């Protein structure tokens, strides 16, 4: 069996496994939707005010997208590794030609498809329920590599969490503990001028920051003149690094 067929077989199995978990399917799409509805449509802080959500609606598009590119890969990949370990599946996989890298590629492809659909849903809701508009230009297509690279990065991160955590519950707790601060402290929902001055440099350490800034340069008209290729390059390097670390962290045997 060729490498592409091995990856495709594992990806198909992972996709059907996801669809069988109806609760997981529901909340994968429900969580970002309810976030858009609450903060985008119901909480309508005027741009002239100060505080949370005081910026125009389009400013927060990166934050809404970040909810799925961050939470979904961390929890899903980490949980899959913990589940495989608990069920002794890695011992069985060790007897097959499927490598750790191929396993992670297959699950990353599935997460990319899931998050791609969720991102389209989020963008549609933001444009429908809020006053946000997205500049119509060729650069909008650059949203695709930003989303794909972020998924690759956090799938690798999730694999590391799955290796470190000792159970599925531990993975969920660890992923939420890491993801929640990153979601709000990565130049997404909270602007830099709302944070203490000493905290500003720490924002640069978050990989999600470069996703948010790149997406904002594409989707937020006042930031349209800002270069996004630099953020894309940094995100690419981080994605490769985290993916390699994640592939190495996947247990070969239990």
- pLDDT single digits (tens) 159-217: 999 988 878 888 888 888 999 899 888 988 888 888 887 887 889 999 999 999 999 99
In a domain, 149, yes or no: yes
In a domain, 236, yes or no: yes
In a domain, 243, yes or no: yes
Residues 111, 250, 171, 161, CA torsion sign: negative
Give the number of domains in the chain.
Answer: 1
In a domain, 254, yes or no: no
**Whether pLDDT at 42 is above 80:** no
Domain encompassing residue 32? 3-249
In a domain, 141, yes or no: yes
Residues 191, 194, 197, 201, CA torsion sign: negative
In a domain, 67, yes or no: yes
Q: Is the model more confident about 109 or about 252?
A: 109
- Helix pair 100-129, 229-249: axis angle to 10 deg: 140
In a domain, 112, yes or no: yes
In a domain, 104, yes or no: yes
- Condensed to tens digits (0 to 9), the pLDDT of residues 95-153 reads 788 888 999 999 999 999 999 999 999 898 888 888 778 877 778 889 999 999 999 99
pLDDT of residue 224: 65
d(CA 210, CA 217): 11
Considering the chain, what percentage of its residues have pLDDT values greater than 70?
Answer: 91
Mean pLDDT of 44-56: 61
In 3-state terms, the chain is what percent helix, strand and coil (to 5)?
75, 0, 25
Burial of 29 (0-12, 13-18, 19+ CB in 10 A): middle
């Amino acid at each position: 069996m060729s490498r592409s067929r091995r990856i495709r077989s594992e990806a198909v199995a992972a996709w059907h496994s996801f669809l069988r978990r109806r609760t997981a399917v529901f909340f994968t799409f429900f969580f970002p939707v309810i976030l858009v509805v609450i903060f985008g449509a119901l909480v309508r802080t005027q741009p002239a005010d100060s505080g949370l959500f005081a910026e125009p609606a389009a400013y927060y598009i990166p934050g809404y997208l970040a909810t799925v590119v961050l939470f979904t890969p961390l929890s899903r990949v980490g949980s899959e590794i913990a589940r495989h370990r608990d069920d002794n599946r890695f011992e069985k996989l060790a007897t097959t030609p499927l490598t750790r890298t191929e396993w992670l590629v297959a699950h990353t492809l599935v997460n990319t498809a899931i998050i791609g659909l969720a991102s389209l849903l989020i963008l549609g809701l933001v444009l429908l329920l809020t006053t946000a508009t997205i500049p119509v230009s060729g650069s909008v297509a650059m949203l695709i590599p930003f989303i794909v690279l972020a998924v690759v990065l956090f799938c690798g991160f999730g694999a590391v969490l799955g290796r470190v955590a000792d159970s599925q519950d531990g993975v969920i707790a660890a992923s939420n503990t890491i993801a929640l601060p990153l979601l709000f402290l990565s130049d997404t929902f909270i602007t830099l001028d709302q944070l203490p001055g000493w905290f500003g440099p720490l924002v640069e350490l978050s990989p999600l920051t470069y996703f948010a800034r790149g997406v904002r340069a594409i989707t937020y008209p006042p930031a349209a003149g800002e270069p996004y290729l630099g953020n894309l390059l940094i995100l690419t390097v981080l994605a490769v690094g985290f993916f390699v670390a994640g592939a190495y962290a996947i247990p070969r045997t239990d």
